Amino acid sequence: MNADERMDVDARRLDASVRARHAEAVAGLSLQVQAQLAQRSNAALRGATRRPAHGLRNAALACAALGALALGLRFQLTPEADPAAARAAPVAAASTPPGSATVGVALDQDPDFYVWLGGSGSDRLAME
């Protein structure tokens, strides 16, 4: 017996074993499940396709999500329209010393400040 014949015999044995297991499994199914499987098998052989039942549901969910997004964007407060920020701005301006605002503006406009930040000494200072 050569290798091809042995493989053929093994394949037949495997096929018989799998068919026996399948028959045992089908025998253990309830009648209702067997009927459903028969109906689905016949429908598949006829070429019938299932209609998706969730198409309208997904469209409704998408519309609801878009509506929620539109409402969220509509009611989003801008910093100018926020009353708490409008009340806090004068208080913050009154609590800062008069010279500190000009120091920040002066540093923003000073090119030497930015050259100093980009220099090699700034790395050494950052490490300290």
Domain carrying residue 41: 1-49
Q: Is residue 36 part of a domain?
A: yes
Q: Is residue 60 part of a domain?
A: no
| Tens-digit pLDDT profile for residues 34-93 | 999 999 999 889 887 776 677 788 889 999 999 999 888 888 866 565 555 555 555 555
Q: Is residue 22 part of a domain?
A: yes
* pLDDT at position 31 over 60: yes
Residue 55 in tokens:
């198409």
Number of domains the chain is built from? 2
Is the distance from CB of 94 to CB of 100 less than 8 angstroms? no
Calculate the dihedral angle through the C-alpha atoms of 19, 24, 29, 30, rounding to the nearest 10 degrees.
Answer: 130
Closest CA to 107 of 119, 98, 115: 115
Global pTM reads 0.31
Residue type, 65: A
Q: What is the largest CA-CA distance in the chain?
A: 105
Is the distance from CB of 79 to CB of 85 less than 8 angstroms? yes
